[in-house]
Structure 1
Amino acid sequence: MSAPVMTRSTFVLPFSDEGCLDARAVGGKGKGLAEMTQAGLPVPPGFVVSANAYREFLAAGNLRERLTALVARVDLHDAASVERVSAELEDLLAAQPLPERLVSEIAAAYRTLCDQLGVPDLAVAVRSSATAEDSAADSFAGEFETWVDITGVHDVLAHVHRCYTSVFAGRVLHYALERGIDLAGVEMAVVVQKVVRARAAGVMFTLDPITGDRSRIVLESSWGLGLAVVGGEVTPDRFIVSKVGLGLQEKVLGAKRVEYRDGAGAVPVEEPRQREFCLRDEEVLALAALAKTVEKQQQAPQDIEFAVDEDLPDGQNLLLLQCRPETVWSSKQRAPKYEQGAGLMSWITGSISSAAATHSTSPSAVPGHSHEEAGHDHG
């Protein structure tokens, strides 16, 4: 029997849908996942709740004018004012229920994904994908929300709704006002994607993020989900691969003392594994080859998240979770200042990631939660 096929929806698009290639409809994250999926690259399956759904949500409560009026009251130079108005905005969005038609389509898409993978109440990541996110000029990556280990229709719907409220979170509001960005022009799409059971995960750049050298691919990785890498809780293993010929030039063992096995929180890494590289050489080279393919497809240096899925056999277990254009070296004419003693990870989290990820417990489903990074989030 063939797998069920998601029927055409007004608000929901599977990664395989051509409509998912429009960043205005699905945001930078959704578009990147769709492009990789449609190029035959290994991506965990999922779908996008489009920006059209967010517009429907706002229209159902006649919210746009009220949101605009509240934003106009913010005094950027008064932190208390930003937080106070942000709380009012979030409360306003939280009080507005999702329209019934949107609820029906998201529920149907989630059940279809569960059926396709043969897993009732499949654990998914619910990931914000704002239409303004990942643009070269005003990247909102790192400002919006992601949750992992969400199971069941009820909690998927609740966390899509929470992505909508994150549009006006205090840090987002401050970020936007500081840059003169009208948040009324930011619309929220939401990625719903199978959670990867990561043995190891991390990020890779198709140039050297310190020097801008485009002849290198640099990988940073640690045990478990990528949260420990993104949040700076570990010093990850580092691998440098030559782009021409894909030869492993250098590898440096990190200090990987904690890991995230699921959304419940960090756990200690046993001492023997702390002394092991979390990626085998052949996995490093295979990941670098995938990175090179993505860069060629996108025709620009890329910042790519990856994971090694422990549930899948070798040869099928290397998965790409996200790609976006590298923004630091792509937008600068000269090298920014860099302190040689600072270390690569502090450079990445300080210059490429806009904020350190946090990890907390969701009150509704006990999932993992983090603010997404300018360089990375997790799947």
Structure 2
Amino acid sequence: MSAPVMTRTTFTLPFSDPGCLDAREVGGKGKGLAEMTQAGLPVPPGFTVSAGAYREFLAAGDLRKRLAGLLARVDLGDAGSVERVSAELAELLAAQPLPEHLVDEISAAYRALCGHLGVPDLAVAVRSSATAEDSAADSFAGEFETWVDITGVDDVLIHVHRCYTSVFAGRVLRYALERGIDLAGVEMAVVVQKVVRARAAGVMFTLDPITGDRSRIVLESSWGLGLAVVGGEVTPDRFIVGKVGLSLREKVLGAKRVEYRDGTGAVPVEEPRLREFCLSDEEALALAALAKTVEKRHHAPQDIEFAVDEDLPDGENLLLLQCRPETVWSGRHRAPKFEQGAGLMSWITGGIRSAAAAATDAAGPETAPGHTHGEAGHDHG
């Protein structure tokens, strides 16, 4: 999939732009997508709204002092205090509109993406990419927000704004306080990326996440967007590939009884597919080869989200959605953050929001019913 012809503006950068390689401005997620795009790897096209736009947003409302004052009131020993302050922070940010010049730039970048693909009101994923995210010491993976199936300029702008409010969500605030991270210093970039129409989707590690064995690549995948993994609705298929020679060493059929086709709700998987792997052996090996290439470029173990796009022909349908450094075994002093029987996808990936669910979210993402975090399939886009 070729990169869109987009004009760089002050605060929006297409993945093909060299400026999109600066993690201080586009966050770990944005940088990872740009690196893969510029390396010629198969990535759905999109652009990043830079951290500079977030700074403009805060400056427009003179918010920094007010945010710092609220943060100073948090008492980590009082769970109620964390939630109360988080709610006040979210209310403060939600009340501040995006500055008009940001509205114009983001709108123009989205329309350029739609024009490149020839799809008016293209369905996109709007994905948080914090500048503190995915650091080796303190990974924020899974703490911030992602929404899928967002269509039209107005909805894109609404969800960029919601990414900004997610910086101070209750779980993020608690996570940061427990690790001594000053959230006032965290800045939010936002990725806007074409949604993949996934026949199957999942995640792969370029080492064994249970043992730390670097001679293996481990993949987990489920039908459709994979959102059912969030609530433990499915057990994904698992593939283990030997890194040297790329040989399939093991595969285990999961229990994939439901799937999400478009992010709006689960549907049953038809009987014949219940007994089928959602990836062919050839697809699993081809994905592992891509993972090996990504690891070689970064000189370190990676975890990588992927999808198989049902709209694209074989040979062009394997897409990489995100990559980031593996943070458990790469820091030798740290113990694994999950039990041996736990699924990978439920651990490493970010929060997922469907457009339908977001539309009912009058109080903001933190208080919405059915709000979930920790899934790969969609954050698919």
Alignment TM-score, normalising by the size of structure 2: 0.92
* 1:140 corresponding residue in structure 2: 140
Q: Distance in 1 between matches of 2:353 and 2:16?
A: 31
Distance 1:22 1:338, change over 3 A: closer
* 1:371 corresponding residue in structure 2: 373
* 2:325 corresponding residue in structure 1: 325
Distance 1:86 1:106, change over 3 A: same
Q: Distance in 1 between matches of 2:377 and 2:270?
A: 28
Give the counterpart letter for 2:97 in structure 1. P
Give matches, 1:192-207, under 5 Å. 192-207=192-207
Residue 75 of structure 1: CA displacement? Answer: 1.3
Deviations 1:38-84 (A, max 9, x none): 00000000000000000000000000000000111111111111111
Give matches, 1:183-194, under 5 Å. 183-194=183-194
Residue 169 of structure 1: CA displacement? Answer: 0.7
Residues 225 and 262 in structure 1, CA contact (< 8 A), matched pair in contact too = yes
* 2:102 corresponding residue in structure 1: 102
Residue 378 of structure 1: CA displacement? Answer: 3.2
1:57 aligns with 2:57: yes
Residue 374 of structure 1: CA displacement? Answer: 9.8
Deviations 1:162-198 (A, max 9, x none): 0000011111111111111100110000000000000
Give SS of 1:218's match: strand
* 2:113 corresponding residue in structure 1: 113
1:79 aligns with 2:79: yes
Residue 233 of structure 1: CA displacement? Answer: 2.3
Distance 1:72 1:225, change over 3 A: same
Distance 1:225 1:11, change over 3 A: same
1:343 aligns with 2:341: yes
* 1:41 corresponding residue in structure 2: 41
Q: Distance in 1 between matches of 2:315 and 2:258?
A: 27
1:362 aligns with 2:364: no
Residues 147 and 159 in structure 2, CA contact (< 8 A), matched pair in contact too = yes
5+ long unaligned stretches in structure 1: none
Deviations 1:258-307 (A, max 9, x none): 11111202221122111100001111111010000000011100100000
Q: Distance in 2 between matches of 1:338 and 1:141?
A: 14
Give SS of 1:148's match: strand
Alignment TM-score, normalising by the size of structure 1: 0.92
| Alignment RMSD (CA, Å) | 2.5
Give SS of 2:199's match: strand
Give SS of 2:202's match: strand
* 2:348 corresponding residue in structure 1: 353
Distance 1:330 1:20, change over 3 A: same
Distance 1:369 1:292, change over 3 A: farther
Q: Distance in 2 between matches of 1:307 and 1:314?
A: 13
Residues 220 and 345 in structure 2, CA contact (< 8 A), matched pair in contact too = no
Deviations 1:338-361 (A, max 9, x none): 86xx5251xx367x5388867770
* 1:70 corresponding residue in structure 2: 70
* 1:165 corresponding residue in structure 2: 165
Deviations 1:112-165 (A, max 9, x none): 000000000000000000000000111111111000000000000000000000
Distance 1:284 1:349, change over 3 A: closer
* 1:32 corresponding residue in structure 2: 32
Give the counterpart letter for 2:341 in structure 1. G
* 2:301 corresponding residue in structure 1: 301
Distance 1:91 1:143, change over 3 A: same
Give SS of 2:67's match: helix
Distance 1:45 1:365, change over 3 A: farther
Residue 229 of structure 1: CA displacement? Answer: 3.3
Q: Distance in 2 between matches of 1:28 and 1:263?
A: 24
Q: Distance in 2 between matches of 1:373 and 1:142?
A: 8
Residues 237 and 252 in structure 2, CA contact (< 8 A), matched pair in contact too = yes
Q: Distance in 1 between matches of 2:334 and 2:83?
A: 36
1:126 aligns with 2:126: yes
Residues 232 and 349 in structure 1, CA contact (< 8 A), matched pair in contact too = no
Residue 371 of structure 1: CA displacement? Answer: 3.2
Distance 1:3 1:192, change over 3 A: closer
* 2:174 corresponding residue in structure 1: 174
* 1:261 corresponding residue in structure 2: 261
Residues 200 and 279 in structure 1, CA contact (< 8 A), matched pair in contact too = yes
* 1:315 corresponding residue in structure 2: 315
For these two proteins, the number of residue pairs brought into alignment is 373
- Taking only the aligned residue pairs, the percentage that are identical comes to 83
Residues 231 and 358 in structure 1, CA contact (< 8 A), matched pair in contact too = no
Give SS of 1:140's match: coil
Q: Which moved more, 1:303-312 or 1:254-263?
A: 254-263
Q: Which moved more, 1:183-192 or 1:170-179?
A: 170-179
1:242 aligns with 2:242: yes
